[in-house]
Amino acid sequence: MDVPNVYGKLSLLQIGRRYCSEGEVISTHTHQDFFELTIVNGGEGVVISNGESYPIKSGESHLSIPCDIHEIRAGKNSKLEYDYFSFRFSEGDFNKELGKISRKLFGKSSRVFTDPKISTLLGNAISEFSSEKPYANEILENIFNQIAVYLIRDFNDVEHQAPKFSENEILCYQIMNYIDTHIYKIPSLESIAPRFNYNYSYLSNLFKKTTGKKLSDYFQSRKLDTAKVLILEKKYKITEIATMLGYSSPFSFSKAFKQKFGCSPKNIT
């Protein structure tokens, strides 16, 4: 994830095939600045993005966008086989078009779609990736570009059109996206205001008026959601997580965590 393979303007973070037993859970994890395709080849299950459940079965695909909190569950009575592909584009038209798709999926559009062309291409990419044959990189770059084109076409179809957003809604989305992708680097909400060329008071009032939620509550909620994922991953101590997310002390972190989730960080499951 830290050192992706680069194919033209695409950075490849993960690619592969997974086989899950009945009821198996791929635990909750946070996506950063990348997209991820999940393409089911057999069985059925549920993909959960940001608390929303998307039932998915063989032949269907799910698109996860940057900053999603993500989980996959095999059916209780069904095995689940799926291909996965995590990527981002650094610049160019594909990057712009995928950014538009993110804004569409920020609305009420479905994340699940069907496109056998993408399924076939990704299967070919997985095979080519492990082959070490001559010109594999050139072939993979072409395959990945084709997947991007089909993906953009699919989500520009009428059935995936989301309602148009006002300028205020777009600004709020940009603020939320900035918070999600810089969650470890924001010392205070006041510090983000200059990045949007407004003062904090204006942004705070606009956010509350547009979304019905306080900007400070959104920031706090996303920090705690991130903390929960980090705790469950068991890579850091709770005191380290509190520091990473800018809490003044482990006590203040524990208090906020318990208020949101109903238990202390040590007892989360």
Query: How does the average pLDDT of the chain come out, rounded?
Result: 87
Task: Give the confidence band of 164 by pLDDT, cuts at 50, 70, 90.
Answer: low
pTM of the prediction?
A: 0.64
Task: Give the confidence band of 56 by pLDDT, cuts at 50, 70, 90.
Answer: very high
206-257 tens-digit pLDDT: 999 999 999 999 999 989 988 988 888 888 999 999 999 999 999 999 999 9
| Residues of the chain above pLDDT 70, percent | 95
Phi, psi of 18 (to 5 degrees): -125, 140
65-76 tens-digit pLDDT: 887 888 999 999
Q: How far apart are CA 226 and CA 202, in angstroms?
A: 27
Q: Residue holding tokens 């068991």?
A: 234
Whether pLDDT at 92 is above 90: no
Please state, as a whole number, how many other Cβ atoms lie within 10 Å of the Cβ of residue 251.
10
